[in-house]
Homo-oligomer: A and B are copies of this chain.
């Protein structure tokens, strides 16, 4: 398989719920007015806590600093796995499950933090720019690695980069098993032709910028609904993740999902905000999902991580998570 290091330098930011309205002007430009921006990688995810905005440096320039904006200090690079026909995996599962053993687990073992961003089209694995040499060394055995430079894919050889591997003798701390929540919502993962984006503009603007009920409680407990809405526009491809209640507000003829029209349930990972430095969080859930061959989208946000699994598999996933907490395998 091929691994591409994409030509985007990304920032991970968070806008407070109350502060979003102050960012309406730049965000509407980044979402709808492609002629007015050179931003090529933009993702906005609403959770009950805040709005996570991941975007390239061109887009980041448009976000004025304020007390409403938090910025993670690193530059992140997106990696993308491309199956080129000779994939060894016989798995039918999609999403993060497919790369759990080949990418997620090895990076966790090397103490590399990852920020995952699954979309309708593909899964982006964001790593810190400063970790790139470790990433390349770690994944070079399994993958042909290419770095995209000005639209060209240039092969990268692991001997070309400084070896930044962690000493093998160093003890890898066992990562914490984080509490998980499984809200009642059913989610869909959708896309639309970017040329028809203007057709959903007023609905999308309404849902993103005006649906923030002031009485909404930011505390989510297991049985409650969980507000989660994700929009991304990356290299011209649009991806949307929303619950079925939000979906009903959109014109049915413009959004599309896969032909089987699956619904997804969410596993929200983290009892308190996870931060960006702990390694192995994605591995913790994607490994057992891979063992059970259950598809999963995975979306990291500023505070928590979110895995989306097929609705029909949620009982197995719940059992698996309980077993994991008792120390039993799938």
Contacts and interface: CB of A to CB of B under 8 A. Distances in A.
Nearest to A32: B202
B210 A29 contact: yes
Count of this chain's copies in the oligomeric assembly? 2
Interface string A179-220: 000000000000000000111011101100110000000000
A154 interface: no
A318 interface: no
A36 B213 CA distance: 12
A149 interface: no
A127 B275 CA distance: 58
Nearest to A29: B210
Nearest to A203: B198
Contact of A201 (B21, B198, B209): B198
Interface in A9-30: 21-22, 24-25, 28-29
A33 interface: yes
A59 B187 CA distance: 35
A52 to B, nearest CB: 19
A233 to B, nearest CB: 13
26 contacts: A21-B25, A22-B22, A24-B24, A24-B25, A24-B28, A25-B209, A28-B28, A28-B205, A28-B209, A29-B210, A32-B202, A32-B206, A33-B202, A33-B205, A33-B206, A33-B210, A36-B206, A36-B210, A197-B202, A198-B199, A198-B202, A198-B203, A199-B199, A201-B201, A201-B202, A201-B205
